[in-house]
Chain A
């Protein structure tokens, strides 16, 4: 059983399109995150939800909209895709907030390529 699973693993799309990435965790964690890893391998936090409530919202274009229907799911929708959105997007979860004692469990990542 995969603890944190993301779909799809690969997306290739044209500029201007809209796409979604889904994430589910079966660890019973309260907190979920989206991280973006660019071509230079920098891992940057985008959003964090705790029990369906948005708690971290970094400076991310509002073309990115996260949604958490329940605490086991966190989806990411991206409108009007741009070339610079190409990256690997990681979903993660933790029992407690990661900045404290929360160990992050990452999904396998979703590689988005915008042409």
Chain B
């Protein structure tokens, strides 16, 4: 089952904050976040394994709410380099296949 991401697209000015959500209809074992710039390959950002876990990567952090079967990616004080499409990837208990979400296109303008 493909996780659903929201919003589908967002446009921000440099320095603004953004939140990208990822929801699954099944219990999650892990949530992964990747960023893909136009014409390039997806690049790993972080993995969250435990319910309630939060991780940070520079000014990009994420949380994992096991009960709600969702994860959120937080981009603080966005920079031009943050532009791209963000994908969450989820794996369910008993199935270690990683399924990517629908993607969120983030555009940062000066």
Q: How many A-B residue pairs have CB under 8 A?
A: 61
Say whether B103 contacts A42, CB under 8 Å. Answer: yes
The listed residue (B30, B32, B42) touching A90 by CB distance below 8 A is B42
| A105 CB contacts on chain B under 8 angstroms | 44
| A106 CB contacts on chain B under 8 angstroms | 41-43
Residue interface mask B24-64, A partner, CB < 8 A = 1 = 00000110101010001111100101000000000000000
Say whether B85 contacts A41, CB under 8 Å. Answer: yes
- Interface residues of B, count at CB 8 A: 26
Say whether A98 contacts B91, CB under 8 Å. Answer: yes
Of all A-B residue pairs in the complex, the 4 with the closest CB atoms, nearest first, are: A99-B91, A99-B96, A106-B41, A98-B98
B residues near A (Cβ < 8 Å) are: 2, 29-30, 32, 34, 36, 40-44, 47, 49, 85, 87, 89, 91-92, 95-100, 102-103
A44-B100, A45-B97, A90-B41 known; 18 new pairs, CB 8 Å cut-off, are: A35-B100, A41-B36, A41-B85, A41-B103, A43-B87, A45-B99, A48-B97, A56-B97, A98-B97, A98-B98, A99-B29, A99-B97, A100-B30, A100-B96, A103-B32, A106-B43, A108-B41, A109-B41
